[in-house]
Amino acid sequence: MQRRHLVTSLAGLSIAPSTSLLTSCRIMKKDIRKFGKMFEYLKDDVARTRETGDALMVVEGASFGGSAFHKQVWRNLKFVDCSFEGGYQIRLDAMINVEFSNCHFSGVIEFGVMTNVRFLRCHSEGNSNWGGQQGSSNVVFDKCRFIGSNSDRNRQGAIGTYGEATFLDCVIKWFDISADTGLVARGCDFDDVSYHPESAAVLIENCKLRGTFNMVPARLSSLTIRDTVVDHLDLNRADVTGDILIERVRGRSLLALIAGGTRITVRDSQFRIGPQAHSPFRLASTDTLHALIDNVQISGGSKPVELGFGTVGMASKGIAPKVNQTFTLRNSHIDHLDATYLRSAHVRFEGNEFGRLELQHSRIGTLELLGNTIVRTVDFTNVEADDAKVQPLGAGQARLEGSNIRLD
């Protein structure tokens, strides 16, 4: 799996923060080499521990742009109003029990394995690239601002860790975020952000995902998104070993043709697809055992909404995946639904409003179509069901060519 975040090759990195900002930082901050004993302790953690034990050391108003720190361990520290700059001058082995408050970061910085580290009201810009390595845990970014300078994803910076990371009330634009084994995001404003985890449990709550929230490629152990506004969420080709829950989400489009997703639930959500949307609403997996779409409104756009579980699409014809056990769609409104090529033990559509419904080429154990409002047609072409309970339909509404469905 290719990854371009945390930390890229310095040769290919063009660090372009604001010149006036960096100049201001250098004028206001004192070089860390002038901090005497504090500087010595940052260079030699063993000596510091021997002389001061676990006492907290506070470093305030320091600039870290002119001195190298390689292989050190920083622990029990608080940095206040400091600036960290340069390319690979800081390459730590580890960081433990550290807080950064109102600090600025620019360049390429490796903080090693981070444990119990907090960034409070910190900021970064341009295509700076910094964070923690594998094994990092309890790393929190609180009320931070990371603003890139270019919408080109190949020229954006990256922040986070190869382990776990939490983002609280942060504003992030044109940056990669990294949290390979676990992400929590609450109250954040993301704008054209990329995120490509390796095996993460992901929780996104009360956030705004503006532009495209790009998760291609991604490997997830689980995904929960709730109480969030989404412009465009791209999960295409994601591999999800556990469950997916999307609830109380307002958005424009979702692209999720995925592998896995043992249980998929989308409920109490609204999606309004714009006429010029670059992709429709698509949610499908050959591996989902249980799918529930409940109280979801999807409208607009020029293409049908695609929902599929079991064997999905023409390219999958003839493949024998795990059969979807249940696919339930209820109390929802969808202008045009494409649910073709289903392979499911039990499909139940109840209490929905459809403009047009397509179920062609599906293989279903029990099919229940009950209490729905259907404006135009239901296409049962080449549908085979062992047992079918279908509500009364108007004259000419049902297309039954090649199907074993019998209507009363």
Averages of pLDDT over each 10 residues, the chain, 408 residues: 40 35 52 95 95 95 92 97 92 97 95 98 92 96 93 83 97 94 97 94 97 93 97 92 96 91 96 74 91 94 88 48 85 95 94 96 95 95 95 91 89
Answer yes or no: are the C-beta atoms of 259 and 240 closer than 8 Å: yes
Rounded to whole angstroms, the Cα distance separating 4 from 154 reads: 8
Structure tokens at 81: 């109003």
- What's the DSSP call for residue 322? P
Structure tokens that stand for 117 in this block: 């580290």
**DSSP 8-state code for residue 37:** H
For the question of whether the overall pTM of this predicted structure is more than 0.85, the answer is: yes
Would you state the structure tokens that stand for residue 270, as one six-digit string? Answer: 């609204």
Q: 218-245: b or e for each residue (b if 16 or more CB lie within 10 Å)?
A: bbbbbbbbbebebbbbbbbebbbeebbb
Q: Answer yes or no: are the C-beta atoms of 113 and 136 closer than 8 Å.
A: yes
Which amino acid is residue 297, in one-letter code?
Q
Q: How many residues does the chain have?
A: 408
Sign of CA dihedral 97, 159, 222, 231: positive
Place of tokens 């390979």: 180
Does an H or E element contain 381, and which?
A: none
Structure tokens at 143: 């009320």
Closest CA to 109 of 127, 84, 134, 126: 84
Radius of gyration of the chain (CA): 26
pLDDT at 22: 35
Tokens 């996104």 -> residue: 204
What pLDDT shows up at residue 131? 94
What residue has token string 């559509």?
349
What residues have CB less than 8 Å from 248, skipping those under 6 apart?
Answer: 226, 227, 228, 267, 268, 269
pLDDT at 386: 94
Secondary structure of residue 35 in the 3-state scheme:
helix
Q: Check residue 14 and give its pLDDT.
A: 34
What backbone phi and psi angles, to 5 degrees, belong to 174? 55, 50
Is the distance from CB of 404 to CB of 380 less than 8 angstroms?
A: no
In the Cβ-directed half-sphere of 118, how many Cα atoms lie within 13 Å? 12
Q: Give the dihedral sign, CA 162/66/107/29.
A: positive
Instruction: Give the whole-angstrom CA distance, residue 162 versus residue 373.
Output: 49
Distance CA 43, CA 128 (A): 24
